[in-house]
């Protein structure tokens, strides 16, 4: 009885792992095959030449993957800097001050969490367009940093654990609020900043809907839309698409292997707080 | 099926604190100017965050309601008021009604996803070899971007692809189908891909909740002779009920707003058009912004309704993982 239960447990784990890894493995196999080979061999047959990197070369030269990584990095750096400043400033004002309208501001942020972003894009588009930002990376940067309530939560929660005595000590020494914010609050928020950088970073890296709606210039496309655009002209060259997919997954895989614990914590926090 | 934020605990806790000024220490030589400045400080810090919140979240919501009662095409300066015509069209045009029906596949998918996540979270919360490896494998799909997942499964499900090969090799040729091409099963395939993508997140949420259960409870139960099955029903499930409720509402609102996977894999063809695909098409291809806004308002109301019902059933303050 006991043995049967243990066997069942490991069998289900192995089956689930195969279901998870098989589609990924076949993409990896495909990415090293030649066009001929891809069409004539079955998907489970390993590539004849594991060092055939033609598809990867094609992905970088014709698919513009390098440019796409650069565009993603550009958007990421600007959006993340903005998110951190906005989140920390909001948390600082709401946690350290009592002022008229504080409850209203809290309620505004509270209500905003209930509005899923995808539902309002029809109207958000008109605003971005009205600002003259359609087709600009700034549209994405603005949306990434201006609509991220989860990060504000994480900062607000963490802000409570920073002792007020630190602010007060600095104030006695004559520091202004701006200096307290930059020299005391921000450095002490480091763990929260790390969490936000990880979740937000993965979110921006994977975001497809916003760049698809707001960017039209092929030279500005980030990873996800570049991958989508590649599928058009190379739709019949699946081995090249496979290589492109592998290229987009590798950075995430490396990040995951090194930062596992932070990623689990970050996402459970992001989803439940 | 998404990771939308819904936990409001800290906000509510913060909102319930009274807005009274606590005695503040004024630094030496504080004159009238600095008192005035101090009162202004929080507003200066909130200027940009609240400005962006109003501009990018609240203005669109208000505008959306306004657009939804006009015949606006997105370009014209003039917007003619048409009353509830757009809403009538949302609920009478069979093509529009179909998207509600399509989301049911994903709702069922999210229930399957929760069951799988609950099972794996439970068995991995007990002693298992290579625990971290299993956890990592199950979670990893959640980190892959939606376009890549769409392409991975187009490759896996295409005729003669991975799945067909497995079926042929195991003598199940009769099960081979046009997985994404046959309108009768395309939605099942796409919902299954969604399950593949999101089970990991639900699983990690459940696992975190189960691991935070006080181990003394298990020990007490073991003394009473409880087996694993009893433990699951009388300790684990009741303890993580709030997280299960949260996963349920994330699943429902995610099912209503599915976009990437059907968009990449079928572009809404073969009867797989979802709410968001249709709304985007209406707004940006067909230039019926008024009608698209009505669709979006209906979706927003649905999501708010589900959230409200879930809040009524599971009190907020019970949701706590740490």
Interchain CB distance below 8 Å, B59 and A113: no
- Decide if domain A62-272 falls under CATH 1.10.3720.10: yes
Residue of chain A whose alpha carbon sits nearest to that of B300: A119
Tell me the shortest Cα–Cα distance from B58 to chain A, in angstroms. 8
Q: What is the pTM of this model?
A: 0.87
The predicted pLDDT at position A272 comes to 60
Residue of chain A whose alpha carbon sits nearest to that of B322: A269
**ipTM of the complex in this document:** 0.91
Q: Which residues contact A214 (CB under 8 A, 6 or more apart)?
A: A125, A128, A133, A134, A135, A136, A139, A140, A143
- Dump pLDDT digits (tens) for B220-239: 887 787 777 888 888 888 88
Tell me the shortest Cα–Cα distance from A24 to chain B, in angstroms. 7
B313 band by pLDDT with thresholds 50, 70 and 90: confident
Q: How far apart are CA A120 and CA A209, in angstroms?
A: 12
Pick the range with the lowest mean pLDDT from A71-85, B52-66, B103-117, B220-234: B220-234
Domain with CATH 1.10.3720.10 in chain A: 62-272
CB contact residues (below 8 A), chain A span 79-98, against chain B: 86-87, 89-90, 92-98
Contact in structure between B70 and B290 (CB atoms under 8 Å): yes
How confident is the prediction for chain B on average, in pLDDT?
Answer: 83
Higher pLDDT, B37 or A221: A221
Which residues on adjacent β-strands are paired with residue B81? B70
Task: State whether residue B39 is helix, strand or coil.
Answer: helix
The widest CA-to-CA distance across chain A, in whole angstroms, is: 77
Q: How far apart are CA B249 and CA B255, in angstroms?
A: 10
The superfamily CATH assigns to domain B84-318 is MetI-like (1.10.3720.10)
Q: Which of A123, A215, A232, A254 to mutate to probe the B interface, most B CBs <10 Å?
A: A123
Helices A149-159 + A102-112 axis angle, to 10: 130
Per-residue tokens: A195: 């969490």
B314 band by pLDDT with thresholds 50, 70 and 90: low
| DSSP codes, B114-166 | HHHHHHHHHHHHS--TTHHHHHHHHHGGGGS-HHHHHHHHHHHHSTTSHHHHH
B7 band by pLDDT with thresholds 50, 70 and 90: very low
The answer on pLDDT for A67 being more than 50 is yes
The predicted pLDDT at position B165 comes to 87
The predicted pLDDT at position B234 comes to 84
The predicted pLDDT at position B292 comes to 92
Q: Where are the domains of chain B?
A: 84-318
Q: How far apart are CA B275 and CA B256, in angstroms?
A: 7
The answer on pLDDT for B98 being more than 80 is yes
Give exposure, B6-40, as e/b (b: 16+ Cβ within 10 Å): bbbbbbeebbeeeeeeeeeeebeeeeeeeeeebee
Residue of chain B whose alpha carbon sits nearest to that of A273: B7
Sign of the C-alpha dihedral, residues B194, B199, B201, B205?
A: positive
φ, ψ of residue A165 in degrees (nearest 5): -60, -30
Tell me the shortest Cα–Cα distance from B144 to chain A, in angstroms. 6
Per-residue tokens: B106: 């994903």
The predicted pLDDT at position B159 comes to 87
């Amino acid at each position: 009885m006991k043995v049967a239960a243990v066997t069942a447990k490991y069998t289900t784990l192995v089956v689930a792992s195969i279901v998870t890894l098989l589609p990924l493995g076949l993409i990896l196999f495909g990415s090293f095959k030649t066009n001929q080979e891809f069409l004539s061999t079955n998907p489970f047959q390993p590539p004849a030449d594991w060092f055939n990197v033609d598809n990867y070369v094609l992905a970088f030269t014709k698919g513009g993957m390098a440019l796409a990584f650069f565009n993603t990095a550009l958007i990421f750096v600007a959006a993340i800097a903005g998110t951190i400043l906005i989140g920390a400033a909001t948390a600082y004002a709401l946690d350290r001050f009592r002022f008229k309208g504080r409850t209203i501001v809290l309620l505004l942020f509270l209500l905003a969490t209930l509005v899923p972003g995808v539902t309002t894009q029809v109207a958000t588009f008109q605003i971005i367009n009205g600002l003259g930002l359609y087709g600009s990376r700034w549209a994405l940067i603005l949306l990434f940093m201006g609509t991220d309530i989860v990060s504000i939560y994480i900062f607000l929660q963490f802000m409570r654990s920073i002792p007020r005595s630190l602010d007060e000590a600095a104030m006695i020494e004559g520091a202004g609020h701006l200096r307290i914010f930059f020299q005391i609050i921000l450095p002490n928020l480091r763990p929260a900043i790390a969490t936000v950088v990880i979740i937000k970073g993965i979110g921006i890296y994977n975001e497809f809907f916003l760049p698809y709606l707001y960017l039209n210039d092929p030279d500005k496309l980030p990873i996800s839309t570049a991958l989508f655009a590649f599928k058009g002209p190379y739709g019949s060259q699946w081995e090249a698409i496979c290589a492109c997919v592998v290229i987009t997954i590798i950075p995430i895989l490396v990040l995951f292997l090194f930062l596992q614990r932070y990623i689990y914590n970050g996402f459970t926090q992001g989803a439940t707080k | 099926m998404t990771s939308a934020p819904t936990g409001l605990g800290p906000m509510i806790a913060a909102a319930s604190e009274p807005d009274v000024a606590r005695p503040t220490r004024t630094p030496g030589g504080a004159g009238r100017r600095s008192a005035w400045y101090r009162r202004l400080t929080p507003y200066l810090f909130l200027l940009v965050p609240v400005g962006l919140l109003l501009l990018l979240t609240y203005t669109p919501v208000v505008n959306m309601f306004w657009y939804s009662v006009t015949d606006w095409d997105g370009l014209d300066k003039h917007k003619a008021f048409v009353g509830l015509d757009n809403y009538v069209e949302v609920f009478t045009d069979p093509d529009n009604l179909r998207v509600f029906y399509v989301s049911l596949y994903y709702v069922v998918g999210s229930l399957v996803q929760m069951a799988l996540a609950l099972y794996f979270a439970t068995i991995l919360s007990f002693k298992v070899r290579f625990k971290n490896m299993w956890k990592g494998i199950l979670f990893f799909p959640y980190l892959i971007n939606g376009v890549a997942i769409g392409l991975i499964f187009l490759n896996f499900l295409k005729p003669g692809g991975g799945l067909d090969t497995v079926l042929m090799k195991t003598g199940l040729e009769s099960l081979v189908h046009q997985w994404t091409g046959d309108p009768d099963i395309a939605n099942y395939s796409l919902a299954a891909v969604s399950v593949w993508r999101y089970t990991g997140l639900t699983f990690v949420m459940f696992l975190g909740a189960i691991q935070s259960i006080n181990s003394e409870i298990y020990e007490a139960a073991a003394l009473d002779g409880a087996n694993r099955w009893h433990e699951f029903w009388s300790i684990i499930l009741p303890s993580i009920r709030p997280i299960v409720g949260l996963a349920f509402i994330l699943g429902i609102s995610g099912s209503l707003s599915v976009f990437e996977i059907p968009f990449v894999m079928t572009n809404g063809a073969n009867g797989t058009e979802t709410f968001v695909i249709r709304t985007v098409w209406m707004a940006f291809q067909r230039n019926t912004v008024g009608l698209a806004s009505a669709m979006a308002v209906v979706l927003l109301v649905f999501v708010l309704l589900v959230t409200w019902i879930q809040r009524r059933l599971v009190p907020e303050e019970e949701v706590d993982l740490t």
